Homo-oligomer: A and B are copies of this chain.
């Protein structure tokens, strides 16, 4: 390209010898013009370095080409990884992803949704904060914008949901732990940040009861999204005061488990499935770092790829179908047991 800056489509029409409406069609969908025309346009494009003004483009469109991705806490590598998957799939599908993190703040989540609405996105993939979310606001949003909720289900919310089957995964984990050693305690934060934790606790209880074991739940203090630190502090206290009734601890998620591993290490307790260890520890989610803890963490894998694929598949259906209300069903994926050295 010559670097000649072309101011607008009109000017580019002059230079390329193509009429402006045809150019408009081309930029909306390159396949919609004749091959010979497309060639001429692209030849001119290579020469003159013109890009249509996106603001003017979007002003008159009912929806843009953008897909919003909203996660509750991006500094959590779990969400970073999911976001990465979603982004790449959006791009592959010809959309422009826009990424937002609520940073654990419900007010920010509301703001993000508001600003997103005014950006007329084609659709939105939303992992809500959960318990702290402003449900009315989210409901209103989903009514206006094609939205797929993922990771964290909000009860009675009409839109589609993609996530994992906590009941299945916890049962699997409990069964595995019971078969390979003593029945586990369940470790969770006193204040649950999202409904997944509640479902996991319930699933834990029923899985334990089904095996004829007494469920035992250990709750630790701490609020916010610094799960590792909460797991560490709570774990130190719990180990020191002997709050665990089993040598096997099942944590409500991997980040808590990572903190607990650290607490065990600092308490001079060994962790692992061997004979001479003090504790076994398991988590849930297959957090990107769980492979590298010492010992590596036994957990249940959420299949990031499948969840991403399915979320987008449903979203595209929503976008392309007029009657949005019809698709409101949940789609739950089974977790896969990832046995590692910790349990």
Contact = CB atoms under 8 A, between A and B. Distances in A.
A289 B54 contact: no
Interface residues of A, number: 46
Nearest to A96: B115
Interface in A48-81: 51, 53-56, 58-59, 74-77, 80-81
A295 B294 CA distance: 9
Given A59-B59, A99-B101, A228 B81 contact: no
A84 B101 contact: yes
A258 B84 contact: no
Report which residue of A54, A288, A292 has the largest number of chain B beta carbons within 10 angstroms of its beta carbon.
A292
Contact of A74 (B84, B289, B295): B84
A289 B289 contact: yes
A53 B265 contact: no
Nearest to A104: B84
Given A53-B118, A74-B74, A292 B232 contact: yes
Nearest to A100: B99
A171 interface: no
Taking the full assembly, how many copies of this chain does it contain?
2
Interface in A228-286: 228-229, 232, 258-259, 261-262, 265
A98 interface: yes
A32 interface: no
A310 interface: no
Report which residue of A84, A288, A291, A294 has the largest number of chain B beta carbons within 10 angstroms of its beta carbon.
A294
A37 to B, nearest CB: 23
Contact of A261 (B76, B114, B291, B294): B294
Contacts of A56: 55, 59
A320 interface: no
Report which residue of A55, A114, A118, A295 has the largest number of chain B beta carbons within 10 angstroms of its beta carbon.
A55
A321 interface: no
A233 B294 CA distance: 15
Given A59-B56, A228-B289, A103 B88 contact: yes
B80 A119 contact: no
Interface of A: 51, 53-56, 58-59, 74-77, 80-81, 83-84, 87-88, 91, 96, 98-101, 103, 108, 114-115, 118-120, 228-229, 232, 258-259, 261-262, 265, 288-289, 291-296
Given A88-B103, A228-B291, 12 more contacts: A51-B118, A74-B80, A74-B99, A75-B80, A91-B108, A98-B98, A99-B100, A258-B289, A261-B292, A262-B291, A293-B294, A294-B294
30 contacts: A53-B118, A54-B118, A55-B56, A55-B58, A55-B59, A56-B59, A74-B74, A74-B83, A74-B84, A74-B99, A75-B81, A75-B288, A76-B80, A80-B80, A84-B103, A96-B115, A99-B99, A99-B100, A99-B101, A228-B291, A229-B291, A232-B292, A259-B292, A261-B292, A261-B294, A262-B292, A262-B293, A265-B294, A289-B289, A293-B293
